[in-house]
Structures are given as C-alpha cells and as structure tokens.
Structure 1
Amino acid sequence: MKPVSSPAVPSALFVCVHNAGRSQMAAAFLAHLGRGRVEVRSAGSAPADTVNPAVVEAMNEVGIDISAEVPKVLTTEAVQASDVVITMGCGDACPYFPGKRYLDWKLDDPAGHGVDAVRPIRDRIEQHVRGLLAELGIEAAA
C-alpha cells in the first residue's frame, strides 16, 4: 500500500534592499502566525550588517524576538525555492522567474527611524501577512 503523502508546505520569500527591517518583520510575523505551516525566508539585494534596532524593539513589543536574526543576501536559489516572492521596495534587484507568484507590498522604509515611526509599518506588515495566510488557506494564530 502506498503511503499517503501530506500536502506540500507553501513557501514565501520576503525581499527588501537591506533585509534589516520590513522583510525581517514580515518573515517573523509569517513564522509566528503561520505556526510552522509555511516555510519562511527573507533576504536583501544589498543586506545590512545588522537588523535595525528600532525594528527589533517594535517586534519585541508584540512578543516576537528577532534580535538573533541576521540580514541575508538575496540568491537566485532562494527565489527559485519559494512559491511566492514578496518584494518591499527592492525595485529591479529582485530576480524574476516566469511562473513564480510575485507580490509587491508598498511600505515605508523604517531605516533611520525610531520605534515610533516603525510601529505603523509593523502593523501594516502584520495585516499584509494575515491576508497572505488567508490566501494560502492557513488560519493565523491568535
């Protein structure tokens, strides 16, 4: 008898220029709210050395610790391995592959801003991530 295979886990890649703010928050929200039912990646076309401290603080306020995250460089392999690629201001730096699903979320860049300016960006990202989970047919964690 052939074993029953489980459905493939969808995967998402969040891309912004520095991978230090928006894409880090989005990846953290998707991992947290998706509770392991989505494979999550994030990367940047020109990654920074560290994640923006105001972003780390803003995420801590909602109970998500991203202090150990490190910005990663965008690779062709990461794009190819993802079902959906969500860009956030990386412009033409993101490789395009026919047949991939691309979304572009228009969000302010938190670079150079304090936590007060990051909070509304964080909250918009959470709304976008909840919408993405709904599109994928995955119920978000409470």
Structure 2
Amino acid sequence: MTSPGGTPEVLFVCVHNAGRSQMAAALLRHHAGGEVVVRSAGSDPAETINPAACEAMLELGIDLSREVPKKLTTGAAGAADVVITMGCGDACPVFPGQRSLDWELADPAGKPIEEVRAIRDEIDRRVRGLLAELTGS
C-alpha cells in the first residue's frame, strides 16, 4: 500500500518519541534512501531525545542530535500507509482503517548503553524486514 504519490509512508509511534520511534525512523530513513516517507511521533512527547539512544545511533553513523520529540496528530496518522506502535499499549491510539503493527520492544529509557544497543539492533532487524516488504527489495 502506498500513498497517492506512490511513495509508501510510515509513522512510528511510542509514548515519548524519544527512543524507540526515533531510532526506528532514523534507521528506516537511512536504509530506504528516499524510497519511503518516514515520520515519528509520541502520544506524550518528552522534552529531548534519550541520550543513550543518540549514543547508540551515533555508533552506526546516524546523528539524532537535531531531532526533537513530536506530538502524535491524527493528520500524521491519517497520511501514513503503515502506523507502527512500539510497545506503548493503550497510550497509543488505534486509527481505524490504517494498517497498524505493534512492535513490542523494551523502552530504552534509563537502560545502560549495552541494553540500548540490543534494542537498536532489534529495531534495525524489523526495519529492514519492513523495508523489504514495502519496496520489494
């Protein structure tokens, strides 16, 4: 499924938009090379990105330092072909008619960098699978 312009749009959602969803969006953007429109948002956004998530992503050469947590809007969700929630349970709304996936992932908040790396690597594995599904490559 793709948006009217032919480019699939993906929205990653977690509660604070400071860790999991930011890492997922950055990884998909990195791997997709412009073939997918990527956004992320949170139902209750934090003030800043999780420093451990920034550190873990920088290890892959992806800089999150300019990213800011964003509030989830119905417009952003409505524009997406796929909405992926990331273990936020009832805190993340369901949008009827949208293709929705829930990736149960540990929250990196307060975790040591070793655990954040493991979360990042699991997100990366799932993102690569999603990209293959969306683009056929």
Give your verdict on TM over 0.5.
yes
Q: Could you list the runs of 5+ residues in structure 2 that have no partner in the other structure?
A: none
What CA distance in whole angstroms lies between the structure 2 residues aligned with 1:18 and 1:99?
A: 24
Which residue pairs with 1:58 in the alignment?
56
Which residue pairs with 1:3 in the alignment?
none
Give the secondary-structure state (helix, strand or coil) at the position aligned to 2:135.
Answer: coil
Which residue pairs with 1:92 in the alignment?
90
Which residue pairs with 1:119 in the alignment?
117
Per the TM alignment, residue 7 of structure 1 is displaced from its structure 2 partner at its CA by 5.7
Query: 8 Å contact 1:34–1:138 — kept in the other structure?
Result: no
Query: 8 Å contact 1:79–1:95 — kept in the other structure?
Result: no
* Amino acid paired to 1:66: L
Give the secondary-structure state (helix, strand or coil) at the position aligned to 1:136.
Answer: helix
Give the secondary-structure state (helix, strand or coil) at the position aligned to 1:97.
Answer: coil
- Report the count of equivalent residues: 134
Per the TM alignment, residue 94 of structure 1 is displaced from its structure 2 partner at its CA by 2.7
Which structure: larger Rg?
1
Which residue pairs with 1:81 in the alignment?
79
**Which whole-Å deviations, capped at 9, do the CAs of 1:51-73 have from their partners, x for residues lacking one?**
00000000000111111100001
What CA distance in whole angstroms lies between the structure 2 residues aligned with 1:91 and 1:114?
A: 23
Percent of residue pairs identical: 66
What CA distance in whole angstroms lies between the structure 2 residues aligned with 1:113 and 1:93?
A: 21
Query: 8 Å contact 2:17–2:40 — kept in the other structure?
Result: yes
Q: Which runs of 4+ in 1 moved over 3 A?
A: none
What CA distance in whole angstroms lies between the structure 2 residues aligned with 1:7 and 1:20?
A: 29
Q: Could you list the runs of 5+ residues in structure 1 that have no partner in the other structure?
A: 1-5
* Amino acid paired to 2:111: H
How high is the TM-score relative to the length of structure 2? 0.93
Query: 8 Å contact 1:59–1:66 — kept in the other structure?
Result: yes
Per the TM alignment, residue 138 of structure 1 is displaced from its structure 2 partner at its CA by 4.5
